[in-house]
């Protein structure tokens, strides 16, 4: 499956920077996998038959939730593209129901980056692009937001 940006490039247009949704989308799945593993280990340590069964059932249910969150995070990252070309900024989310945002670089008035403390440590954040007559668009939980901003503002 080709990337969205490769399908819409105009003649003479080049991709300067590409990024994606940050891996933090996997965080709920990671926590759930850890809890499922802990419950499974607890079931092996338990000596009471009812407690063993309870821990195994709970581990199975939490593992199912972890699998769901893993697939959900993967699908979000797989279907999200954010690119800067020499002419415009392009952001695409969705697979069947697609939402795209494009703004010409000469219409970009300012680019704001909002990072939490954890976002600064793990290098993710929200980027808001303000356009002249184009409105405002926020791209949430993007990897390397400062490098993305620099790729837009450096010309």
135-143 sheet: strands from edge to edge: 108-114, 124-131, 135-143
Vertex 74 angle, CA 69 and 76, to 5°: 95
Q: Are residues 66 and 87 in the same domain?
A: no
> For residue 57, what are the domain limits?
26-75
**21: which DSSP letter?**
B
Q: Are residues 32 and 95 in the same domain?
A: no
The reported pTM is 0.83
| Residue 5 within a domain | no
Q: Are residues 87 and 68 in the same domain?
A: no
Q: Are residues 103 and 133 in the same domain?
A: yes
User: How far is it, in rounded angstroms, from Cα 80 to Cα 100?
Assistant: 10
| Residue 9 within a domain | no
Which of the residue ranges 40-49, 66-75, 139-148 would you say has the lowest mean pLDDT? 40-49
Domain with residue 116: its CATH number is: 2.30.29
> Is-contact 63 96, C-beta < 8 A?
no
In this predicted structure, what is the pLDDT of residue 1? 65
| Residue 1 within a domain | no
């Amino acid at each position: 499956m080709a990337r969205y940006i490769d399908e819409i490039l105009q003649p003479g247009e080049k991709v300067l920077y590409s990024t994606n949704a940050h891996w933090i989308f996997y965080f709920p799945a990671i926590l759930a996998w850890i809890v499922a593993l802990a419950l499974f280990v607890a079931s092996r340590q338990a000596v009471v038959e009812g407690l063993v069964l309870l821990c195994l059932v709970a581990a199975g249910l939490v593992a199912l939730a972890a699998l769901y969150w893993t697939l959900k995070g993967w699908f979000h990252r797989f279907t999200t593209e954010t690119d800067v070309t020499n002419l415009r900024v392009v952001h695409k989310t969705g697979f069947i129901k697609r939402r795209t945002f494009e703004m010409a670089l000469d219409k970009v008035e300012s680019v704001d980056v909002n990072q939490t403390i954890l976002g600064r440590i793990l290098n993710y954040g929200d980027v808001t692009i303000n356009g002249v007559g184009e409105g405002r668009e926020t791209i949430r939980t993007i990897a390397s937001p400062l490098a993305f901003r620099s790729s837009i503002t450096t010309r």
